[in-house]
């Protein structure tokens, strides 16, 4: 069968750098850190006391009080990002067939804020089970896609992908496949996460996964730096409207970029640690390039997973060098997590937006907070350290990897008729 072309016609984001896609991009291009002391709860007794929070967030700015109370924070972020993308794409104004519009969203954890609060309330009580009637629908991960669908009346495919930190990228690849196979005309996709809670911070501290650089949060996320000591937790959401090209053309939609490939693989190695050989990451990028029908020489930019962990960063770079060979020295690499922190299941959503806007603007967002070269990493590679670089970007690859060994790569190309 003939596969349909898939294009991106809308974007949206709510992030630690800004609460709209343009504000987010401005922060990326300027190399701004979104990290600061945690304000959501008293973190004074935690090993890590900082994170990348969405700044000055008040649900009442987006939802009426009754509506907002029915949604966990991660769902609120998802609805906000998707609202922006849907408006940007002009879906409602175009009179699209809502039976053919789907919502495929990503979240690795779901309603952690709700689960924690209900557990606290029970523990403080007299043992009588008194739970909020919205506890379950707020907590479950698919409440995000469900709420987006209900709000907009989209009756096409609707589900959530959960694959830890690869969740959002998996949702984008799923949306891409549904459209190119003709199972939908339009899909709202991306992901969101809100895990800056006592349980989230405490759990990742117990894993020894997060930075403990409490004296200088703004420089704590240091991908590829010799002295990196773990990731910085972030929150928010990123959304894309992806669409069949002929459908977009018929309704006169603006087109940001084209999705031309997606790859998936598994490390099959360890529940939390990356395979130090990078074999699973090699496989996922090879799968993505093969699906896109391109060669390593065609790629201009890789938005890396780059979490700022000692093991993960090195494994990804080894994999890039193995897949791209000499072509690795001609492309730009950067980790935008150095600015946004790690949104876990929401990472792929905002990083897809970053990759698309890099293509749009011809600017590679930087990897900030580089102070000392890591002798284990090839200094000849262009990590785009500390400052954005101008470059024509025809093809960008976005990598995301998750606990459990989940690996996903998405390939975006500058749109041409």
Please state the three-class secondary structure of 294-329 as a single string: CCHHHCCEEECCCCCCHHHHHHHHHHHHHHHHHHHH
Domain boundaries of the chain, sorted by first residue: 7-250, 263-413
263-413, which class in CATH?
A: alpha beta
pTM comes to: 0.97
Q: Three-state secondary structure along 347-385?
A: HHHHHHHHHHHHHHHCEECCECCCCCECCCCCCCCECCE
pLDDT in tens, the chain (417 residues): 689 999 999 999 999 999 999 999 999 999 999 999 999 999 999 999 999 999 999 999 999 999 999 999 999 999 999 999 999 999 999 889 999 999 999 999 999 999 999 999 999 998 899 999 999 999 999 999 999 999 999 999 999 999 999 999 999 999 999 999 999 999 999 999 999 999 999 999 999 999 999 999 999 999 999 999 999 999 999 999 999 999 999 999 999 999 999 999 999 999 999 998 899 999 999 999 999 999 999 999 999 999 999 999 999 999 999 999 999 999 999 999 999 999 999 999 999 999 999 999 999 999 999 999 999 999 999 999 999 999 999 999 999 999 999 999 999 999 998
* 3-state SS class at 276: coil
Query: From the candidates 165, 247, 370, 406, which is the catalytic residue?
Result: 165
How far apart CA 7 and CA 254 sit, in angstroms, is 10
Q: What is the CATH number of domain 7-250?
A: 3.40.47.10
Is 247 one of the annotated active-site residues of the chain? no
Query: From the candidates 52, 247, 342, 406, which is the catalytic residue?
Result: 342
Closest CA to 265 of 277, 276, 281, 249: 281
Is 305 one of the annotated active-site residues of the chain? yes
Query: From the candidates 52, 247, 305, 370, which is the catalytic residue?
Result: 305
Q: Note whether 36 and 216 are within 8 A (CB).
A: no
Is 370 one of the annotated active-site residues of the chain? no
Domains 7-250 and 263-413 share a fold: yes
Residue 200 tokens read as 């989230």
């Amino acid at each position: 069968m003939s596969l349909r072309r898939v294009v991106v016609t809308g974007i949206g984001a709510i992030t630690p750098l800004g609460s709209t896609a343009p504000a987010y991009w401005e922060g990326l291009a300027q190399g701004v850190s979104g990290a600061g002391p945690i304000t959501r709860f008293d973190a004074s007794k935690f090993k890590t006391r900082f994170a990348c929070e969405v700044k000055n967030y008040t649900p009442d700015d987006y939802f009426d009080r009754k509506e907002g109370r029915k949604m966990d924070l991660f769902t609120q972020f998802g609805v906000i990002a998707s609202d922006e993308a849907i408006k940007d794409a002009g879906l409602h104004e175009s009179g699209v067939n809502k039976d053919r519009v789907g919502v495929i969203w990503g979240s690795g954890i779901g309603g952690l804020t709700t689960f924690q609060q209900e557990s606290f309330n029970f523990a403080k009580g007299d043992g009588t089970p008194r739970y909020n009637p919205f506890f379950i629908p707020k907590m479950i991960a698919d409440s995000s896609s469900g709420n987006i669908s209900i709000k907009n009346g989209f009756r096409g495919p609707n589900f959530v992908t959960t694959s830890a930190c690869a969740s959002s990228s998996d949702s984008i690849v799923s949306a891409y496949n549904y459209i190119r196979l003709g199972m939908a005309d339009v899909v709202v996709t991306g992901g969101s996460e809100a895990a800056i809670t006592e349980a989230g911070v405490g759990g990742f501290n117990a894993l020894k996964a997060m930075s403990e650089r409490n004296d200088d949060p703004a420089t704590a996320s240091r991908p590829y730096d010799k002295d990196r000591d773990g990731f910085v937790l972030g929150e928010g959401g990123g959304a894309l409207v992806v669409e069949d090209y002929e459908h977009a053309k018929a309704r006169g939609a603006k087109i940001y970029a084209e999705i031309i490939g997606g790859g998936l693989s598994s490390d099959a190695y360890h529940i939390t640690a990356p395979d130090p050989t990078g074999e699973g990451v090699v496989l996922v990028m090879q799968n993505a390039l093969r699906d896109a029908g391109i060669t390593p020489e065609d790629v201009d930019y890789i938005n890396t997973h780059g979490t700022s962990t000692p093991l993960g960063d090195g494994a990804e770079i080894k994999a890039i060098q193995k897949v791209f060979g000499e072509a690795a020295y001609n492309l730009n690499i950067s980790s935008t997590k150095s600015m946004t922190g790690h949104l876990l299941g929401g990472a792929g959503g905002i990083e897809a937006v970053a990759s698309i806007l890099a293509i749009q603007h011809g600017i590679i967002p930087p990897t900030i907070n580089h102070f000392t070269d890591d002798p284990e990493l090839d200094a000849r590679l262009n990590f785009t350290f500390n400052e954005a670089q101008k470059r024509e970007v025809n093809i960008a690859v976005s990598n995301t990897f998750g606990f459990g060994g989940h690996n996903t790569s998405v390939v975006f190309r500058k749109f041409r008729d």
